[in-house]
């Protein structure tokens, strides 16, 4: 596992672990649960999800190259249940090993040796939209919504149930409306000189 860039970065440029990945094992009480998480950068970690009298914990094992020397890391991250606001079941959160704050996702960025929450970093980890220009913001939103819609159309082809729109279809309609908004906005803010060229 190499080092990350020290420039301003977004969440998409970090390695990360999401507590939702382990929910199936937690809710079905499958312990211990072990495996490997890999990223397209070539980095990978080994994890062990376990439960004992102290509660749930996720053990992370990986190797990083620091100053041309390989160092091994092995530590546990606590997972805690919090009753859902809907009154059904629990939501689960990591306890950040650095800040002690609850969070759903832990990141490894800015050369950090550990996975930790966004708020535990001295330098801010941005969301992609926060790094976008005024024009690119709407472009990025538009293409992101389009990718999400393609997935929803594939997974939920059925549009109606008992004469009513299905829940996925209602969500699709909302996303289509958002997509239309960003499509209109990205065209409306194009420089006038570019619009003249395109209309020739």
**2, pLDDT greater than 70:** no
**26, pLDDT greater than 70:** yes
pLDDT-based confidence at 194, cuts 50/70/90? very low
Query: Residue range 129-144: average pLDDT?
Result: 65
Task: Kindly state whether residues 137 and 53 are assigned to the same domain.
Answer: no
Task: Kindly state whether residues 52 and 122 are assigned to the same domain.
Answer: yes
**What percent of the chain clears pLDDT 90, i.e. is strictly above it?**
46
**104, pLDDT greater than 80:** yes
Query: Residue range 2-12: average pLDDT?
Result: 61
**DSSP string over 11-40:** GGGSEEEEGGGGHHHHHTT--SEEEEEE-T
**What percent of the chain clears pLDDT 70, i.e. is strictly above it?**
84
Domain C-terminal end among 72, 99, 126: 126
**188, pLDDT greater than 90:** no
Q: How many domains does the chain have?
A: 2
Query: Residue range 48-58: average pLDDT?
Result: 96
Residues 151-178 have pLDDT tens digits of 888 887 888 887 888 888 888 888 889 8
pLDDT score of 3: 45
Would 41 be classed as within a structural domain?
A: yes
Would 42 be classed as within a structural domain?
A: yes
Residue range of the domain that includes 73: 9-126
Residues 55-83 have pLDDT tens digits of 999 999 999 988 889 999 999 999 999 99
pLDDT score of 40: 86
- Distances in Å between the alpha carbon of 109 and those of 4, 43, 130, 155, 168? 6, 13, 17, 33, 34
pLDDT: which is higher, 100 or 147: 100
pLDDT-based confidence at 198, cuts 50/70/90? very low
Task: Kindly state whether residues 34 and 109 are assigned to the same domain.
Answer: yes
pTM to 2 decimals? 0.64
Task: Kindly state whether residues 69 and 115 are assigned to the same domain.
Answer: yes
């Amino acid at each position: 596992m190499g080092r990350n860039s020290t420039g301003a970065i977004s969440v998409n440029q970090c390695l990360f672990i999401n507590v939702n990945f382990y929910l199936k094992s937690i809710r079905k009480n499958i312990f211990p649960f072990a495996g490997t998480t890999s990223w397209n950068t070539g980095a990978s970690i080994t994890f062990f999800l376990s439960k004992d009298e102290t509660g749930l914990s996720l053990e992370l094992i990986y190797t990083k190259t620091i100053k041309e020397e390989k160092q091994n890391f092995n530590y546990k991250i606590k997972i805690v249940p919090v009753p859902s606001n809907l009154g059904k079941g629990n939501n689960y959160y990591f306890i950040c090993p650095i800040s002690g704050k609850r969070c759903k996702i832990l990141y490894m960025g800015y050369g950090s040796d550990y996975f930790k929450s966004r708020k535990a970093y001295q330098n801010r980890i941005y969301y992609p939209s926060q790094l976008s220009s005024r024009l690119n913001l709407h472009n990025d939103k538009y293409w992101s919504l389009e990718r999400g819609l393609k997935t929803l159309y594939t997974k939920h082809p059925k549009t109606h149930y008992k004469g009513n729109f299905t829940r996925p279809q209602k969500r699709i309609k909302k996303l289509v409306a958002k997509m239309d908004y960003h499509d209109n906005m990205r065209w409306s803010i194009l420089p006038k000189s570019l619009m003249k060229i395109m209309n020739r």
